[in-house]
Chains A and B, each alone.
Chain A
Amino acid sequence: MSDFLSIDNVSQIFGPNLTTGEKIAAKLGGKVETRSVRAVSDVTLSVRKGETLGLVGESGCGKSTLGRLIAGILPPTSGKVVIGGAPVMKNGSKVTTRVQTVFQDPFASLDPRMKVGNTVAEGPIAHTLTTKSEAPSYVASWFERVGLDPVWVDRYPHQFSGGQRQRIAIARALAMQPDVLICDEPVASLDVSIQAQIINLFLELTRDLGLTSVFISHDLSVVQHVSDRVAVMYLGRIVELGPVAQVFGEPAHPYTAALFGSVPKLVLDAEELVHFDTIEGEVPSPLSPPSGCYYHPRCPLATQTCGATQPVMQQISDLRAVACHHFEKQQADAISG
C-alpha cells in the first residue's frame, strides 16, 4: 500500500533564545544556558492512508514537537513533511488545511470569549469550505457528528464539561475536512468515565471518514487500543517502529521492553503484591545527550559499541524497524521467519 503521510528526515532544534543581555553575559563567561535542544532528530516515518500511528515515549522525548512539525504548526529546522504528494510547509509557513490537530487541554485551545459555534465555523469560512450563510447548518452537522446537541452552538466554552469541550475541539478540527488528524494526548485531561466516550468517537470518525492519524499518548493502553502501528521515541529519535501488537507483544528495543515493563498494569486477579520492573535512572537532559546510543546509560545490555556509535534504524521485517546494536541479524531472521 502506498504511503500517504511522509515525514522525511525531520529535525527540530530549539535555540537557547537569549536576550541581548544574556548574549553579552554569555560572551563574558556568565552562567547562561547557551546550548540548544535537539527536540526531534532525523525522524523518518511514513503513514498509510487510513492508518493510525501511535507515538509513545517518556516526557520530553519530543512527541508533541514531532506532532506540531507534522501539523505544520512549527517549521522544521530541516527535513520535510508531505501529505498525498504535497508539502505541508512552504518557506516556513503552512500551505495546507489537510492536516488538523486536537490537543490535550480543550479549555486552553478554545477561545473563552467566542461562542463555540463560531469557533467551529471560523476556519471553514476562511478557507471557503462553507459560506457565511451556510455556516450554521454546516456547523450543526459537525456538532451532530461528534455527539453534541446543535442547539448548543451559541454557548461559551465554560458552559461545557471537559468531555464536551473535547468534542467541540474535534468538531473544529474535522470541519476543516482534513485528511490527517494529529491527536496530542486527547484524553489525558478527561475523567476515566469520559475517556472511553472520546476514544470511541475517535475510532468511529477515523473509520467513517477514512482519516489518517497520529495519536500521541503517554497511556500505553490507549495507544494499544487505537493504533495500527506504533513508534517509540527516546530523546528525539525513533528507536522502534512496527505493528502495535507486535511491538507491545515482542519488543525489539531494550527501551521499548523497559517502558512497557514499567507501566503499572490493571491486575484483576492477583491476591498478592505484584512486581513491576523499573527502568534504571532517569531520562538524560536533552541539552547534553549521551554519546552513541542515547539509551546506553540506562540499558542493561549496553556495551562499548553502544557508548561509541549511534545505531541506525534497521528493517527487521516487512513492517518492523529498530535502532539497536543488539538486534543482530539472526534475531531479525527469527522474527521475520
Chain B
Amino acid sequence: MSETVLSVKNLRTHFFTRAGVLKAVDGVSFDLAKGEIMGLVGESGSGKTVTGFSLLGLVDAPGRIVEGSIKLNGTELTTLSDVALRSRRGREISMIFQDPIATLNPMLTIGQQMKLAIDAHERLGNRAAEIRAAELLTQVGIPSAAARLRAYPHEFSGGMRQRVAIAIALLHRPSVIVADEPTTALDVSIQAQILFQMRDLARETGTAMIWISHDLAVVSSLASKLAVMYAGRIVEQGQTATLLRDPRHPYTAGLIASLPATAKPGAPLTQIRGTTPSLLSLPPGCAFAPRCDRATDRCSTEPNMTVQDSRGWRCFYPVSQRDEVSA
C-alpha cells in the first residue's frame, strides 16, 4: 500500500451570505497517495476551487470550514494557527491558479519573484537562489532560463507565464500541488506540453496533485484517480479508467455520454436536461435528482457514498454496464 500524503474527511466549507448559507463544499472526503494525480471535475460552481482553497487555508470571510479534517503528512491542518499554516503553504502544499496573470506581480522580474518565493521558506544566497530558479525554469521547459530571470511577466506569453507559476509551485518540492484549471486559458498545443511536463514532474518528484478541470479528456489522460463533484458533494470517485468506462452515478454517465467524442458526427448528442442548480436553493436529498431520469421519491433523502472495490458513488439507483446493454 502506498503512503498517504493527504487525507480529507467530511470537509464542509460554507459561506454565510446575506441570501443564506451557501454550502460550497458539503461533506467531501478523499485520500491522495505520494505521487498520485487525482482529477477533480464538475459543473461550474460545484465547489472545486473552494475545495482547493480549503486545503490551503485560503478561504476568507464570509466563508469558513465548518466541519471535517484535512491531514497533510499526518498533521491536522484545520486546527492550525494562521502562522503555522502559512509556514506549510508553499513548502508542503501549493496551488497553481487558473489565471497566471493574477499569480505573478507585474512590477517584479521573474527572478525576483522566484527569489521571494524561495526566501519564504529557506535561506539561500542570491547566487544559489538564482541557480535554483534557473534549474526549475529549465525543468518546466523555458529555454535559456538564466537569461529569462531578468524578464518581466509581460515579456512572457500566457503559456510561459503559466510555466513560471508551475515552477514557483514546485520550488520547495511540496507533497501536494492543487492545480486549478491551470491550462484552460492556454492554447491546446501549449496545454499538451504543460500537461505532459506536470505529469512527469509528479512522477519524478513524488509530488501528489489534485487537477481541477471541467475537461474530461484532459483528466482522462492525466489523472489515475477521479472525483466528480456536483453541488458541493463528490457524487462519484474511483480509478479514472474505471469511472470513464463504467460510470455508476447518472451525472457521471450523462457527462461522458454527452461528449461529442463519444458520438457519431452530426448525430444528436445525448444531453443532460435542465440547468445547473443554484447552491442557495438546493432540493433536499440528491441535488442531481431534478435532472435525473432515474430519480424517484426516495431521492429526496440524501444517499450515502456506496463503497465497493475501491470506488464509490452517491446514488440509490446507480447505472451499471448491464443496464446500458439491456436499455
Contact = CB atoms under 8 A, between A and B. Distances in A.
A and B bind = yes
The dominant DSSP class at the B interface is helix
Contacts of A59: 186-187
Interface stretch (A77-85, A116-124, A275-283): A275-283
Given A196-B269, A225-B265, A278-B193, 14 more contacts: A192-B259, A194-B276, A197-B271, A197-B272, A203-B268, A224-B260, A226-B266, A263-B217, A265-B220, A266-B216, A266-B217, A267-B220, A279-B193, A282-B157
A265 B193 contact: no
A96 interface: no
B265 A245 contact: yes
B192 A192 contact: no
Nearest to A279: B189
A244 interface: yes
Interface of A: 58-59, 161-164, 191-197, 199-200, 203-204, 218, 220-222, 224-226, 244-245, 258-259, 262-271, 273-274, 276-279, 282-283
A220 B189 CA distance: 12
A277 B241 CA distance: 21
A264 B269 contact: no
B102 to A, nearest CB: 19
Interface residues of B, number: 47
Contacts of A283: 187, 189
Given A264-B195, A268-B244, A278-B189, A221 B221 contact: no
Interface string B255-292: 10011111101101111110110000000000000010
A191 B216 CA distance: 12
Contact of A196 (B193, B221, B272): B272
A224 B267 CA distance: 11
B188 A199 contact: no
Contacts of B262: 266
B43 interface: yes
B269 A200 contact: yes
Contact of B258 (A195, A204, A268, A273): A195
Contacts of A222: 260
Nearest to A190: B44
A59 B188 CA distance: 9
Contacts of A193: 43, 251, 254-255, 258, 271-272, 276, 291
A161 B275 contact: yes
Q: Which of A193, A263, A268 is most buried by chain B, counting CB atoms within 10 A of its CB? A: A193
A191 B276 contact: yes
Contacts of A278: 189, 192-193, 196
B195 A276 contact: yes
B145 interface: no
Given A193-B254, A221-B261, A278-B196, A266 B244 contact: yes
A220 B188 contact: yes
Nearest to B245: A268
B42 to A, nearest CB: 9
A118 B113 CA distance: 51
A162 B278 CA distance: 12
Nearest to B195: A264
B190 to A, nearest CB: 6
A59 B184 CA distance: 12
A199 B260 contact: yes
A262 B263 contact: no
A117 B221 CA distance: 44
B192 A263 contact: yes
A59 B190 CA distance: 10
A221 to B, nearest CB: 4
B191 interface: yes
B58 interface: no
Contacts of A164: 275
A268 B261 CA distance: 11
Given A265-B221, A265-B261, A282-B159, A192 B255 contact: yes
Contacts of A220: 188
Contacts of B245: 268-269
A259 B245 CA distance: 26
B252 to A, nearest CB: 11
B157 to A, nearest CB: 6
Contacts of A161: 275-276
A29 to B, nearest CB: 21
Nearest to B44: A191
B214 interface: yes
A259 B266 contact: no
B222 interface: yes
A218 B272 contact: no
Contacts of A200: 268-269, 271
A194 B272 CA distance: 7
Q: Which of A164, A221, A277 counts the most chain B CB atoms within 10 A?
A: A221
Contacts of A263: 188, 192, 217
B144 to A, nearest CB: 13
A203 B272 CA distance: 17
A-B pairs, top 3 by smallest CB distance, nearest first, are A196-B258, A225-B260, A196-B269
B218 interface: yes
A264 B270 contact: no
B259 A266 contact: yes
Contacts of A277: 192
Nearest to A188: B184
Contacts of A279: 189, 192-193
A162 B45 CA distance: 12
